[in-house]
Amino acid sequence: MMCGAPSASQPATADTQAIADQVKAQLEERENKKYTTFKAVTFRSQVVAGTNYFIKVQVDDDEFVHLRVFQSLPHENKPLALSSYQTNKAKHDELAYF
């Protein structure tokens, strides 16, 4: 992987799901909507001054959201932050940098 470039898409792991779960409330607040389904499907990561995680999350049978979550460096001791997101995504939509 080239430094600064996002990794290839990979299947979500338990760690990916934990990251998504930690920013779920931030997304619900911004969208003014509660999600009963919130399952991380795939992810990409990008090393910057911390790490950006791009996560495709299934929120309904055929509805997905793409999240960009920033994890600061450990010594900064900051919580995960939902940097950006895209709604109205489908299963086949590529998880691209945004």
Q: What's the average pLDDT block by block, 10 residues per block, for the chain (98 residues)?
A: 70 96 96 95 92 95 95 91 95 89
DSSP readout, 18-85? HHHHHHHHHHHHHHT---S--EEEEEEEEEESEEEEEEEEEEETTEEEEEEEEE--GGG----EEEEE
Which of 61, 20, 27, 59 is closest to 43 using CA atoms?
Answer: 20
* SS3 call for 50: strand
Q: Which two tokens stand for residue 45?
A: 């990561």
Domain boundaries, the chain: 10-89
CATH number 3.10.450.10 given to 10-89: yes
- 16-35 per-position pLDDT tens digit: 999 999 999 999 999 999 99
pTM for this model (two decimals): 0.90
